[in-house]
Amino acid sequence: MGYLEELLVKEGLSLVGKRVSRPDALDKVLGRPLFTADKLTRGMLWAKIVRSKYPHAIIKRIDKGKALGVPGVLTVLTAEDIPGENQIGYAIPDQPLLAMDKVRFVGEPVAVVVAENEEAAEKGAELVEIEYESLPAVFDPLEALKPVAPRIHESGNIATTTIIRKGDVEKGFREADVIVENTYKTQRQEHAYLETETVIAVPEINKVTILACMQSPWLIRRMVAKVLGYKQSKVRVIELPAGGAFGGKDDMIPMIAPIAALAAVKTGKPVFLMFKRDETFEASNKRHPSIIRYKSGATKDGKLVAVEIEIIYETGAYANRGPFVLWRATAHAAGPYEVPNVKVDGKLVYTNRVFSGSFRGFGDPQIHFAAESQMDELAAKLGMDPVEFRLKNILKPGLTTTCGQVVDQSVGVEEALRKLAEKINWEKRKREIEEYNRESKRKLKGIGVACAYHGISTSRGAPDWSAAAVIINEDGTITYKGGICRLGQGSLIGHAKIVAEILGVPLSYIQIEGPDTDAIPEARPTHGSRGLMTGGTAAADAASKLRRNIVRVASEMLECKTEDIEIKDALIYVKPDPSRNIPFSEAAKELYVRGYETAAYGFYRAPKRFFDPKTGLGVAYGVYVYIVNIAEVEVDTWTGQVKVERVHTAADVGKAIDPDLIEQQFHGAIAQGLGLTLTEDIVFSDGKILNNNYTDYVIPTVKDRVEVPTVVLVEQPYKGAAFGAKGVAEAALIPTPPAITNAIRHATGIRFKELPVTPEKVYFALKKRRGEKS
């Protein structure tokens, strides 16, 4: 039996599956200096980015003279100072580190001022003179698609396209008794993490070290090496805990660490670079705005027969992660249902606005908003209950996804939906609400359901792996070196629980260390809900290797067979006679004395998968996390205000390594989904963002909080991961917008197809329905 199979059947677990209090909480409560900005020391230089004020313009001339005259300013760096490649495009090489000949959005980095202090850096940045020749700009993706539109890139305004052709949609629609067709739109969302992007670069001899909040240490290493013209071994990246990340720091830190590194290498001094809040709003990636035309057909007995979907995702000035975001949306376009005939066409479109990118859900919230709105509209047309209609079509083992992938294991969406509906008494609750609404004059209540699925980690058969390291110290303590970043989600706590479980020691024995590219091989990024699953499996691999050594040395010490050794609570004993025992620490010391290996690297490798880009068919993801949300709302028909009273949630998590950490992720994801649904929207004027602060860009406050009274965890294990666990960090956000808008539909009868659903929109929609003029 391999170690993964052994773990799946392991009995008497002491940590896995149990709630623990977070080992990182105390330092955070005490406000200890954990974060990048807390590491600022005297003698560090300040870097300030000079940004484009134009949405689309040619750079005619850059004059550094006045800036260099500011006392304390040491240097001003532009594209021509870059020793390596001036290219940081992630999927497509379309994005310079510092703009060279032209700028494509307001906020694009053009130069960087390096000074002895913050004031001088800021003053210098104001005095860098850049002469532009303004070009016509395009701010709307539909405009950008027109042949007359200004060209943002030489290749045109379409960054990439996607397709899926499964079955025959024309035949499918001929079989349909009901057809629903709608266009949905979603907006640009800002991550709004409390800690802005912050990087420290320290020049070493022939080397440079980066310290930062981050999600992708090895990508940062690649980007810094590329920009400086260094070998990867000459760049060391050390991860520091992030004050929130949500995908934003996955894209952004690899784009700004090279700027800090360039400044450090040019000046020979450590450099500190921190975005101000308005910079984060104006120049950091956002959730892709979308326009989705969605046509669905079902038979009168409630079977989905076809979907035809056109997706436009606006990527802004640069493609960044857009091709992967669009692909993910395409691959999940039909929702967690089996649909025999699927046609999807996706376009990723450039505009002269800040680039889009990774954000919790990575393209799936937008497409599920459309897909799950359609499901309720079909159910309404069929006169069917939304839960009942979904259950008739829901994915089960042996059925196929949007892109024809047969899902064979850990497909607990049916169980999640059934259990949640039962637990909250869906039918009864719905009836109670309808009765309430018959009596109520001003306030209307509603209940809505939405399901979602989300492929874990990377897609389309791309190679995927992770790594970790475990050291058993001479006193029996364990150092765990994770490859997954600390964003607040607690993946490394999950890993440490896995390591402690396998080695038979309490969690307090494990010292958790974040990624360091000089300490472990590449573990790949912390995104795609992969941190726990891929990193935790690598941790289990390393711990399993060391357990074998501990068992061997203990069997020598206790003079028994290795099969008879058991380890629990750091005590190693002989199963048939537990009085024969030694502490874990003694065995640890003996590992060193007797020459056993005391450290091990662990690896995770995704199984090889097949994917055909020509049809969009194949194995898109190794495994999916499934989630169901049920939202209850109250709509004030006088003001248009929507109050989300509660969201119930259920998910197939494979195996809950820590049910409490999972619940924490659900809470945060639902809150972010709430903001996406009701309030958050980036507003522009001529390409410039107007609401570049927390006053004008409204994220949920404590008063907007949504209770999550019901959490159901379904555990259908995934055999490819340690203990069968899948990731959950993004999951609960994805069905939140459609669950809420389906509830609003239930309350008011009105289908909102554009996010955010602001009080104004609700107010005027209600007024229009009453036949009043606005």
Q: Any contact of residue 488 with other proteins (CB under 8 A)?
A: yes
- Two tokens, residue 184: 């949905």
Which residues ranging from 489 to 518 are in contact with other proteins (CB under 8 A)? 489-490
Cβ-based nearer residue to other proteins, 278 or 577:
278
Which H or E run contains 740? Answer: helix 736-748
Strand intervals (E) in 91-128: 102-103, 109-115
β strands within 370-519, DSSP E:
443-455, 465-472, 478-481, 510-513
- Alpha-carbon distance of 191 to 490, in angstroms, equals 19
Identify which of residues 243 and 525 has a Cβ nearer to other proteins in the complex.
243
Piece of the chain touching other proteins by CB under 8 A; list 86-94, 443-451, 482-490, 602-610: 482-490
Nearer to other proteins, 21 or 206 (CB): 21
Q: Per-residue string for binding with other proteins, 609-648, x by CB under 8 A?
A: ----------------------------------------
How far is the C-alpha of 15 from the C-alpha of 306, rounded, in Å?
A: 46
Which class for 24: exposed (0-12), middle (13-18), buried (19 or more C-beta within 10 A)?
middle
Strands 45-51 and 271-274: parallel
Helix orientation angle between 413-423 and 386-393, rounded to the nearest 10 degrees = 160
- Distance in Å from the first CA to the final CA of the chain: 70
Minimum CB–partner distance for residue 25 and other proteins (Å)? 4
Comparison of 30 and 593: residue with beta carbon closer to other proteins:
30
- Write the DSSP assignment of 423-454 as a string of letters: HTTHHHHHHHHHHHHHH-SSEEEEEEEEEEEE
Dihedral pair phi/psi, residue 256, rounded to 5°: -110, -20
From residue 648 to residue 687, what is the string marking binding to other proteins with x (rule CB under 8 A)?
------------xx-xx--xx-xxx---------------
- Asked if 272 and 47 count as a contact pair (C-beta separation under 8 A), the reply is yes
Nearer residue to other proteins within complex by CB, 206 or 701: 701
> What is the C-alpha to C-alpha distance for residues 669 and 667, in angstroms, rounded to an integer?
6
Nearest approach, Cβ of residue 695 and other proteins (Å): 5
SS3 594: coil
Smaller CB separation from other proteins, 143 or 704: 704
Smallest distance from the beta carbon of 525 to other proteins, in angstroms?
Answer: 17
Cis amide linkage into residue 55, ω under 30° from 0:
no
Name every residue whose Cβ is closer than 8 Å to that of residue 111 and which is 6 or more positions away in sequence: 49, 50, 62, 64, 76, 77, 78, 98, 125, 128, 130
What's the closest the beta carbon of residue 17 comes to other proteins, in angstroms? 16
Which strands form 443-455's sheet, in the order they lie side by side? 443-455, 624-636, 642-652, 711-714
Identify which range of 524-532, 618-626, 690-698, 760-768 contacts other proteins by CB under 8 A: 690-698
Is residue 361 involved in binding other proteins (CB under 8 A)?
Answer: no
| Complex with other proteins: residue 22 or 548, whichever CB lies closer | 22
> For residues 388 and 379, what is the distance between their CA atoms, to the nearest angstrom?
9
Contact letters for other proteins, residues 702-721 (x by CB under 8 A):
xx-xxxx-------------
Nearest approach in angstroms of CB 576 to other proteins is 40
| 161 CB-contact burial (10 Å; exposed 0-12 / middle 13-18 / buried 19+) | middle
Shorter beta-carbon distance to other proteins: residue 279 or 415: 279
Of 96, 258, 654, 700, which one interacts with other proteins (CB under 8 A)?
A: 700
Name the region of 536 (left: φ>0; alpha: ψ -120 to 50; beta: rest): alpha
- For the CB of residue 672, give the shortest distance to other proteins in the complex, in Å: 7
Which CB, 187 or 489, lies closer to other proteins?
489
Q: Which stretch binds other proteins (CB under 8 A): 104-112, 140-148, 185-193, 676-684?
A: 185-193
For other proteins, the binding residue among 206, 579, 685, 695 (CB under 8 A) is 695
Other C-beta atoms lying within 10 Å of the C-beta of residue 237:
28
Angle between the 736-748 and 364-382 helix axes, to the nearest 10 degrees?
30
Q: How many residues of this chain interact with other proteins, rule: CB under 8 A?
A: 56
Positive or negative, the CA dihedral 222, 226, 232, 235 is negative
User: What per-residue string of b and e applies to 296-313 under the rule 16 or more CB within 10 Å gives b?
Assistant: bbbeeebbbbbbbbbbbb
Name which of residues 296 to 335 contact other proteins (CB under 8 A): none
Q: Which of 601, 603, 694, 764 binds other proteins (CB under 8 A)?
A: 694
The single residue among 18, 22, 545, 580 that binds other proteins, judged by CB under 8 A, is: 22
Which position among 701, 771, 772, 773 is part of the footprint of other proteins (CB under 8 A)? Answer: 701
Which range binds other proteins by CB under 8 A, 325-333, 348-356, 567-575, 698-706?
698-706
Q: Which of 10, 25, 170, 577 binds other proteins (CB under 8 A)?
A: 25
| Binding pattern for the stretch 192-221 against other proteins, x by CB under 8 A and - elsewhere | xxxxx-------------------------
Chain residues 26-65 in contact with other proteins, contact rule CB under 8 A: 26-35, 37-38, 40
Site for other proteins in 248-287 (CB under 8 A): 276-277
Question: Minimal distance in Å, beta carbon 194 to other proteins?
Answer: 4
Site residues for other proteins per CB under 8 A: 21-22, 24-35, 37-38, 40, 191-196, 241-246, 276-277, 487-490, 660-661, 663-664, 667-668, 670-672, 693-695, 699-703, 705-708
